[in-house]
Amino acid sequence: MARFDAFRSLPSSQPSSLCAFAPLRETLPVGPVVVGYFSMTRKNYLPFGKPNFSQEEVEAVTAVIRSGWVGMGPETIAFERELADYLGVPHVICVNSCTSALFLSLLVAGVGKGDEVVCPSLTWCSTANAALYLGARAVFCDVDAGSLCMTTESILEKVTRKTRAVVVVHFGGLGVDVRKLRAALPRRIAIIEDAAHAFGSGYPDGRKVGSSGNATCFSFYANKNLSTGEGGAIALFNSRHADRIRSLRQHALPIDAWKRFTHPKAILLSNHLTELGYKMNYTDLQACIGRVQLRRYGGLAKRRLQIAKRYVTLLGDMEPPLKFQSEITAARHARHLFTVQLGKRGGSLGRDEMLAALKAKNIGATLHYTPLHLMPLYGRKRCHLPVTETVSRSMLTLPISSSMTLDDAEYVSGHFRDILQRRQSF
């Protein structure tokens, strides 16, 4: 079953006639909200992040299948070059995920057993796990309540003699100022950027995220701003590290399958392994999708901005105020996530009730994230991170994607307002 059909087949929760809530129009002060259907439940589930694939992607995949070469080859090489041009960097290396990109970046930066890697707790597990795979310890630091990103100060608090790297997460797609951080950190500490959310984001000085000179890791997972289903990439300037990552992603073979195919005599070299490598390569089936997505990226990004602006317009006047991530509509933000902090309206009970109520309306709101430092894998509560703990208790993520219509955003906003206004407990 095609992916979109799978979404369509999810049952709608309630027929509109059984809905417990009256239309929003009755309860709202006069405002910019477009109303009329908030008593209804949409038929299709609205996922929090739905990829936007067009006929062009379908044709690109078909052409690759027909070509007979579906592994890593000419499409990957072309996608890497186009990404490098887009970001303004000398090297981009595509791998099978952002998790692998983080792992390989830390590895070539020299992170190993007994080292410490500072990263946020308010992130996906990949950020920390990349360090754990190498025998290092993840040391969690707090974030700023407005930007939801680590700050230079919160990072420095966690730096010790054992710190070998810092993984900076551009949370939700908001570019973090890594220049300030670089100036404050000793040179022996590498900065790796987790830009899983931040394809298309900018640093505060306007340059693209990925062009800082640090190894910057992107995700092309299904729901990401630029999607190839699965996949990731590392953008970097260091040629030695780039060569090593290119080799490590495919068993540290001196020559990959495409080169063997195009230079058949080189096959004799291919068995001489000198280093333990990994199977983390990309494929042309994915790269051809990425190339189309990159060409379409301007339009995809514009739609995310429109959705975010609509949410801000429709929800920004609520009392007590809801808190959105700072700079959510700024050029620097790529709007992978649209987070809302319910704040004083309640703790996790209120937030979880809200998630359930939205789900009953077929709205795929979700959580980013359960803090890692509270999980047993990472030594539960070894540290106290007050902002992360407070924010994560009352924060949820509303659906946002380039596949959404503005009507979708109005549907979500309408129900969100309606639920909040009707539940005194929030």
Ligand X SMILES: Cc1ncc(COP(=O)(O)O)c(C=O)c1O
Residues 155-184 that bind ligand X (CB under 6 A): 169
List the strands of the sheet with 323-324, edge to edge.
323-324, 338-341, 395-398
Among 152, 219, 341, 388, which residue sits at the site for ligand X (rule: CB under 6 A)?
Answer: 219
DSSP β-ladder status, 137-141 and 232-236: unpaired
Q: How far is the CB of 222 from ligand X (least distance, A)?
A: 9
Residue 72-111 contact track with ligand X, rule CB under 6 A, x = bound: -------------------------xxx------------
Q: How far is the CB of 37 from ligand X (least distance, A)?
A: 32
Q: How far is the CB of 280 from ligand X (least distance, A)?
A: 10
Q: Does 126 bind ligand X (CB under 6 A)?
A: yes
Q: Does 147 bind ligand X (CB under 6 A)?
A: no
Nearer to ligand X, 123 or 397 (CB): 123
Q: Binding segment for ligand X among 1-9, 139-147, 194-202, 383-391 (CB under 6 A)?
A: 194-202
Cα separation, 151 vs 159, in Å, equals 13
Nearer to ligand X, 203 or 416 (CB): 203
List the strands of the sheet with 116-120, edge to edge.
91-95, 232-236, 215-219, 190-195, 163-169, 116-120, 137-141
The SS3 call for residue 273 is coil
Among 194, 284, 408, 410, which residue sits at the site for ligand X (rule: CB under 6 A)?
Answer: 194
Active site residue 50: no
Cα separation, 125 vs 102, in Å, equals 12
Among 51, 73, 200, 232, which residue sits at the site for ligand X (rule: CB under 6 A)?
Answer: 232
Q: How far is the CB of 194 from ligand X (least distance, A)?
A: 5
Residues 375-394 that bind ligand X (CB under 6 A): none
Q: What is the DSSP string of 299-352?
A: HHHHHHHHHHHHHHHHHTT-SSPPEEPTTTTSTTB--S-EEEE-GGG-SHHHHH
CA angle (44 as vertex; 41, 50 as ends), nearest 5: 125
Q: Does 216 bind ligand X (CB under 6 A)?
A: no
- Interface with ligand X (CB under 6 A), residue total 14
Q: Across the chain, which distance is largest between two alpha carbons, in Å?
A: 77
Residues 284-303 that bind ligand X (CB under 6 A): none
Residue 395-414 contact track with ligand X, rule CB under 6 A, x = bound: --------------------
Q: Where are the beta strands (DSSP E) in 82-205?
A: 91-95, 116-120, 137-141, 163-169, 190-195
Catalytic residue (one of 224, 265, 359, 381): 224
Dihedral sign for Cα atoms in the order 350, 356, 362, 365? positive
Q: Does 324 bind ligand X (CB under 6 A)?
A: no
CA angle (357 as vertex; 351, 362 as ends), nearest 5: 125
CB 119 within 8 A of CB 88: no
Among 109, 118, 143, 196, which residue sits at the site for ligand X (rule: CB under 6 A)?
Answer: 196
Q: What is the DSSP string of 248-270?
A: HTBTT-SS-HHHHHHSGGGGGGT
Among 123, 152, 201, 388, which residue sits at the site for ligand X (rule: CB under 6 A)?
Answer: 123
Residue 359-378 contact track with ligand X, rule CB under 6 A, x = bound: --------------------
Looking up tokens 């429709």 gives 314
Q: Any residues with CB less than 8 A from the CB of 343 and at least 6 apart, and which?
A: 320, 321, 322, 323, 394
Q: Binding segment for ligand X among 16-24, 121-129, 283-291, 352-360 (CB under 6 A)?
A: 121-129
Q: Binding segment for ligand X among 60-68, 190-198, 251-259, 354-362 (CB under 6 A)?
A: 190-198
Nearer to ligand X, 127 or 413 (CB): 127
Cα separation, 246 vs 264, in Å, equals 20
Q: Does 124 bind ligand X (CB under 6 A)?
A: yes
Helices (H), 54-151: 55-67, 74-87, 98-108, 125-133
Cα separation, 95 vs 233, in Å, equals 6
Q: How far is the CB of 13 from ligand X (least distance, A)?
A: 27
Element (H, E) at 219: strand 215-219
Q: How far is the CB of 234 from ligand X (least distance, A)?
A: 12
Q: How far is the CB of 212 from ligand X (least distance, A)?
A: 17
Q: How far is the CB of 242 from ligand X (least distance, A)?
A: 19
Nearer to ligand X, 42 or 197 (CB): 197
Q: Among all residues, which ones are annotated catalytic?
A: 224
**Which residues contribute to the site for ligand X (CB under 6 A)?**
97-99, 123-124, 126-127, 169, 194, 196-197, 219, 221, 232
